[in-house]
Chains A and B, each alone.
Chain A
Amino acid sequence: MTTTKIQSASTVSPAPTGTGSRGTKVLGGFALVFLVIAVVYGLFISPPDAQLGNTIRIIYMHVPTVMAAYLAFIITAVSSGMYLWKRTEFWDLLGSSAAEIGVLFFAVTIVDGALWGKVTWGVFWRWEPRLTTSAVLLIMYIGYLAVRAIPADPRTRATRCAIIGIVAIVNVPIVHKAVDWWRGLHQGKTVLGTIDPEMGGTQLFAMYSSLIAGLLVCVWLLIHRFRAGFLAERASDLGLDQALEERRLESSPATGEDA
């Protein structure tokens, strides 16, 4: 009885062949629209800054990526808390997926910032408060991913990661407020300090469209990454044979006759 039910359900909507769905396509479409606006305004329409010249254009990458990273780390922290409460695979996967995406965006933020620093400050890096606390934050979340890579019973692994995911979130407000708390080289907060950043109109438009694009891309990536992680768990449930088969397919796609 139940089998017929499942079968009829699967004929209604066939099993997906990837991590995409209607939802991610719509979300991805919106992200793409904002990305195009961000590129057009950020690189072409918005004028150079009075003081920073064209280097202002790096801010349209630097700020959205860091906000996306913060969003991801907050999702990791909330998911970590939820995991310790509910103990379900969903929260574990969501938290770890978000952590990975947060590390990606934050590393990009630091690279963008170093490039910006080179042309505005004159140096790529100084051990000043904002940069130092950022380095600590990045290392801590790489630590989260490293701990996750230690082979362990899934529940043990999830618990370890959840604890790190909760502890590491304290870095976010520290990094964000570092420019207020200590003397440094980095300029003050651009967004989240006030509702209306001190920018010209077109600059502000370029900034907000790239910010929205960044956050949409972050959520879009998170959904895909979560589903890939979910599939990976099912694949590992299937056992070593299938894993080897996957490996075989991966290393030599031409011989994947069983695919």
Chain B
Amino acid sequence: MDVDPSVPDPSLLDDEESPDAATPALDVTPRRAPSTPATGSKNLRSYAAVGVVVVLIAGMGLVLFKGLNNAALFYYNVDEAVTQRPDLGDQRFRMQGNVVDGTIEESDGSVSFVIAYGDQRLNVVNSGAPPELFDAKIPVILEGQFVGDEFHSDQILIRHDSTYDEKNADRVNKAQADADARSGVSG
């Protein structure tokens, strides 16, 4: 049979009678499902996938940088912070300690208390309301800086240990006992 090369093979065209002829064209862009065969432009998919990998590597670099910057020394204990007071100046850092019982004073939009760790105590003024679980005799990490003799923080992070108990009111004192025990070791 003679085939006119200018006319495309009809079998390659959408059947006008077919139910889906009304819809513009069969969408053959690649899907997200990983192991289905590439039905679209293989090159485009290649570039997109390589692009994603590059973005991920860059993202991991960023995470490592952020993480190593912070995670290496996520916080100073109160005694360490006091010792390094001259070096720390007014720079922001995190400080860990236990909230001293009976020192919490809440006022409009701020809370002040004394934090202790090892053999050092420090007055703290935190702007903003403390988190719900904030209480005396619990370990906290504060984010802020020295202002004069006080520590001014704007975020209180509550630390928890991995002991859980159903009903043992004495247990909250364990954090204090731990700190006392550790301060003896770390001095």
Contacts and interface: CB of A to CB of B under 8 A. Distances in A.
Q: Are A and B direct contacts in the complex by CB distance below 8 Å? A: yes
Interface of A: 46-53, 56, 59, 96, 100, 119-123, 126-129, 132-133, 135-136, 139-140, 142-143, 145-151, 182-185, 187-190, 193, 197-203, 229, 232-233, 235-236, 239-240, 243-244, 246-248, 251-252, 254-255
A236 B73 CA distance: 51
Interface in B130-187: 131-134, 141, 155-169, 171-172
Given A136-B63, A235-B37, A198 B157 contact: no
Given A120-B158, A143-B56, A199-B163, 15 more contacts: A50-B164, A52-B160, A100-B34, A122-B158, A147-B49, A149-B34, A149-B52, A187-B159, A187-B161, A193-B162, A198-B165, A200-B164, A244-B26, A248-B20, A251-B27
Q: Is the interface of B mostly helix, strand, loop or mixed?
A: loop
B78 to A, nearest CB: 13
A119 B133 CA distance: 8
B162 to A, nearest CB: 4
A56 B67 contact: no
Interface in B52-69: 52-53, 56-57, 59-60, 63-64, 66-67, 69
Contact of B63 (A135, A201, A239, A254): A135
A100 to B, nearest CB: 8
B13 interface: no
Nearest to A50: B165
A119 to B, nearest CB: 7
B39 interface: yes
Contacts, number: 184
22 contacts: A50-B172, A51-B133, A51-B164, A122-B131, A122-B133, A122-B155, A123-B155, A126-B70, A126-B157, A127-B66, A129-B74, A136-B67, A148-B35, A151-B42, A183-B73, A183-B75, A200-B164, A229-B35, A243-B39, A247-B26, A254-B19, A255-B19
A228 to B, nearest CB: 9
Contact of B60 (A46, A56, A140): A140
A184 B49 contact: no
A151 B38 contact: yes
Contact of A198 (B69, B132, B163): B163
B161 A182 contact: no
Interface residues of B, number: 59
Contacts of A193: 162
Contacts of A51: 133, 160, 164-165, 171-172
A186 to B, nearest CB: 9
Contacts of B157: 121-123, 126, 185
Contacts of A184: 71, 74
A185 B164 contact: no
A25 to B, nearest CB: 25
Q: B46, B71, B163: which has the most chain A beta carbons within 10 Å?
A: B71
B164 A49 contact: yes
B45 interface: yes
A195 to B, nearest CB: 14
Contacts of A100: 34
B1 interface: no
Contacts of A202: 166
